[in-house]
Structure 1
Amino acid sequence: MVLKIRKNNDWRPNPAIFQPVTALETLDLSKNHLKSLDFLFEANLTQLQKLILQNNDLSVMNEKVFEALPSLQYLDLSLNPFVCNCSNAGFIHWVVFNRRVYVEGAFQYKCASPQAHLGAFLLDFNYRWCWESTGFFCFVSSSALVLLVILCSFIYHFLRVQLLYSFYLLRAFLYHRKRQGCAEIYDAFVSYNVHDEEWVYRELVPELEERQGWKLCLHHRDFQPGKAILENIISAIYSSRKTLCVISHQYLHSEWCSREIQMARVHESAAVGGDQDLIMMEKLRERKEKDEV
């Protein structure tokens, strides 16, 4: 069975028109200004042996269309404006290496674009370069991704504390600018190590709060539950007129205490009236021992 549909400028192919002619063996669709052959995927032309597509507007070919025609033996794509770039790499490879379908005049197909290949033969286009460049791009991309993962892992394992601290320093600066002109809630934020907590609550708090009427900000009493430690520290320092640092050996070896004293220094340098006082626990202990002697 032979079907010819030729010279129809406005024809829009529909797979449904081929359903009644599944036994079709020859199909001639020349001079129809076809731009795509995707309709053949659903045309169910299982017995089609000869396909003529001369003088259409086919520039980029999908070789899988022809693989979907199991009985196809002859194909004519003469006088189509082929694009000679990587979009036709798969089709060129199929034309050269397939042994099932004879492609009429394939070695005479010429490039219509781009300008650099105008008039050149389609099968002379170095399509392997497309796959090599794609492979190189994939190699570079995957290598960059691996390096990025390694870098992120390094940062996470070795620099996350420093980055987090820098982030909170920035937040502290922004918090200070936001609170400029606002009244402080506390007279002082007390920075101390947990080993000195007994002395703070037994001697420092009664002296300053009960006898002198200060309002102190203390870790375990005034920090907001569920809030990040550094956020609580920033809030406490910038909500207080001054910071009292209870310095001891344990304090100097504590990471969080060192963060607090650095935050206080940032506040002291950025704020007018910001103040930082140091209470030296070792000197107090030495004085107490002398008094007892």
Structure 2
Amino acid sequence: MGLLPVVCKTPTLRGLIISQSHFANFTIELASCVQLRELNLEDNFMSELSKGSMQSMKQLRFLNLGYNLFTEFPHDIRNLSSLEILKMHHNDISGLSCDDFSNTTHLKELYLNMNRITQLQRCITEKIVSLKVLDVSGNLLKANLSALRYLKLTDNEISVISETVFQSLPSLRFLDLDNNPFSCECSNAGFIHWIVTNSQTQVVKAYQYKCFFPVSKRGNLLLDFDIQSCRDSGSFLCFISSTCLVVLTLLISFIYNFLRLHLSYTFHLFVAFLYDSRKRKKGHPHWFDAFVSYNAKDEDWVYREMLPVLEGEQGWRLCLHHRDFQPGKPIIENITDAIYGSRKTICVISRSYLQSEWCSREIQMASFHLFDEQKDVLILLFLEEIPPHHLSPYYRMRKLVKKRTYLSWPQAVQHPGVFWQNVQRALQTGDALTEITDPLTGLTGC
């Protein structure tokens, strides 16, 4: 019940047994036991080792501290770099850290059975690269372990084991999981399949493992569980889920990269259609006589030739996107408001116009407006001679040209007066423009 000095009078002493002495909290002096290779301190009432008591035992290979009262892993064991076998069974150790085995890299056998260990960190077995045998039976483990050759996990609380665990156990040869509360459900299907099919690892008494969960299957043999039903339903569900996910991802990517502007355009077209329908039911007037759809490269012709005649001489109110679009509003909204807020739409067509994405949207919307109004609301004005076969890539334009009369500026360049009279007649057809006091302040669209 106190101090127990032990001095190695023989420097070459290789083995020492102090077992079943029943001394509590005694101190062991082993400073001179530099040649000691085996030390057995089993079955005492030891709860700790004096600091530095094993500092000189660099050649110790076997250490038995079983059947004692240790609640923590002895700190001095970290210095035993030659240790090959360590027995810490039947103690009260509840936790281990990676630092406990930082220097014991030559450890081959580790016995930690019959303790209160709840978790064994993966870094522990990764540090002990030479470990061949690990016994942690009779603990409170609820976690999976890493790579070993001999693994004994009997009398624990393991109910489900993922088959992925064994992917990190390439050297496992012996596995003992007897007396664990296994679950006979699809969560264990991979583990059951691994037991039956693997040819490398011997699973001790595998055909005697019994189900503990669920209650309806308690007492049944684990390997009698039908894993085929899990595989069929699970695989099919996984296939359907993954297929739907892939299709959805592709669809979203396609829509985002190729159709997002079209969808936005269609949405605003629908909104404009509803807006225009309500406006016509209430008898509201159009704000402009015509919306002029043109490409920026043709802007000089519009301002030099068209505006002086149509606005200056004939007095029409025209909507031009560079001049009359409302700042800050999305372009699509400005286009829809301009087309549906005008009695007519004049399309100034050139090769640049046909190649412009926004001009294409404008003429699409104008054609929808033509269909909606069922009146002569679209005027096609060609600035260049464009052969019909050059219009083949532009389906909507080709279709409009085939069905409607259009005006050609190159053919009328010698008689511009006749050309503008034809434009005036085209603008005069349809409903008469209602007089408004101030089109600028009354404008809500452009």
Q: TM-score range by the shorter chain?
A: 0.5 to 0.7
Q: Distance in 2 between matches of 1:149 and 1:4?
A: 55
Cα 1:102/1:37, change in 2 over 3 Å: farther
CA positional deviation for 1:145? 4.2
What are the superposed Cα offsets for residues 45-74 of structure 1, whole Å, 9 maximum, x if unpaired? 634244432211122235666675676543
Q: Distance in 1 between matches of 2:220 and 2:201?
A: 24
Q: Distance in 2 between matches of 1:128 and 1:62?
A: 17
Structure 1: 5+ residue stretches without partners = 177-185, 269-275, 289-293
Letter in 2 for 1:86: C
Cα 1:236/1:227, change in 2 over 3 Å: same
CA positional deviation for 1:205? 0.8
> What aligned pairs does 1:20-35 form with structure 2 within 5 A after superposition?
20=104, 22-25=106-109, 27=111, 29-30=113-114, 32=116, 34=118
Letter in 1 for 2:113: L
Q: Distance in 2 between matches of 1:261 and 1:69?
A: 70
Counterpart for residue 139 of structure 1: 239
Counterpart for residue 244 of structure 1: 343
> What aligned pairs does 1:254-293 form with structure 2 within 5 A after superposition?
256-257=362-363, 259-260=365-366, 262=368, 285=422
Letter in 2 for 1:52: K
CA positional deviation for 1:216? 4.5
Structure 2: 5+ residue stretches without partners = 1-84, 134-149, 277-285, 355-359, 381-404, 406-418, 426-446
Query: Is 2:320 aligned against 1:230?
Result: no
> What aligned pairs does 1:61-210 form with structure 2 within 5 A after superposition?
61-62=161-162, 73-145=173-245, 147-148=247-248, 163-170=263-270, 172=272, 187-188=287-288, 190-192=290-292, 194=294, 200-207=306-313
CA positional deviation for 1:11? 1.3
CA positional deviation for 1:202? 3.7
CA contact (8 A) 2:160 2:188 kept: yes
Q: Distance in 2 between matches of 1:175 and 1:51?
A: 75
CA contact (8 A) 2:106 2:129 kept: yes
Q: Distance in 2 between matches of 1:33 and 1:88?
A: 24
Query: Is 2:97 aligned against 1:14?
Result: yes
CA contact (8 A) 1:237 1:264 kept: no
Count residues with an aligned counterpart.
262
CA positional deviation for 1:149? 6.3
Q: Distance in 2 between matches of 1:169 and 1:156?
A: 19
SS in 2 for 1:191: strand
CA positional deviation for 1:12? 2.5
Flag the structure with higher helix content.
1
Cα 1:134/1:79, change in 2 over 3 Å: same
Letter in 2 for 1:245: K
CA contact (8 A) 2:212 2:219 kept: yes
| Identical aligned residues as a percent | 37
CA contact (8 A) 2:155 2:178 kept: yes
Out of 117, 126, 132, the position equivalent to 1:42 is 126
SS in 2 for 1:204: helix
Letter in 1 for 2:212: A
CA contact (8 A) 2:105 2:128 kept: no
What are the superposed Cα offsets for residues 229-268 of structure 1, whole Å, 9 maximum, x if unpaired? 4232235468xxx523157998xx98624514756998x9
Q: Distance in 2 between matches of 1:21 and 1:135?
A: 43
Letter in 2 for 1:46: S
Q: Distance in 1 between matches of 2:423 and 2:320?
A: 25
Q: Distance in 1 between matches of 2:362 and 2:113?
A: 80
Counterpart for residue 35 of structure 2: none
TM-score (norm: length of structure 1): 0.61
CA contact (8 A) 2:293 2:348 kept: no
Cα 1:158/1:111, change in 2 over 3 Å: same
Q: Distance in 1 between matches of 2:322 and 2:251?
A: 38
CA contact (8 A) 2:269 2:365 kept: no
What are the superposed Cα offsets for residues 77-108 of structure 1, whole Å, 9 maximum, x if unpaired? 21111222333333333333334433222211
The RMSD of aligned alpha carbons is 5.1
What are the superposed Cα offsets for residues 114-172 of structure 1, whole Å, 9 maximum, x if unpaired? 23432222222234544444432332234334554676699789987763433113554
CA contact (8 A) 2:291 2:318 kept: no
Q: Distance in 2 between matches of 1:110 and 1:55?
A: 13
CA contact (8 A) 1:3 1:27 kept: yes
Q: Distance in 1 between matches of 2:345 and 2:174?
A: 93
Higher Cα radius of gyration: 2
Out of 137-146 and 36-45, give the one that drifted further: 36-45
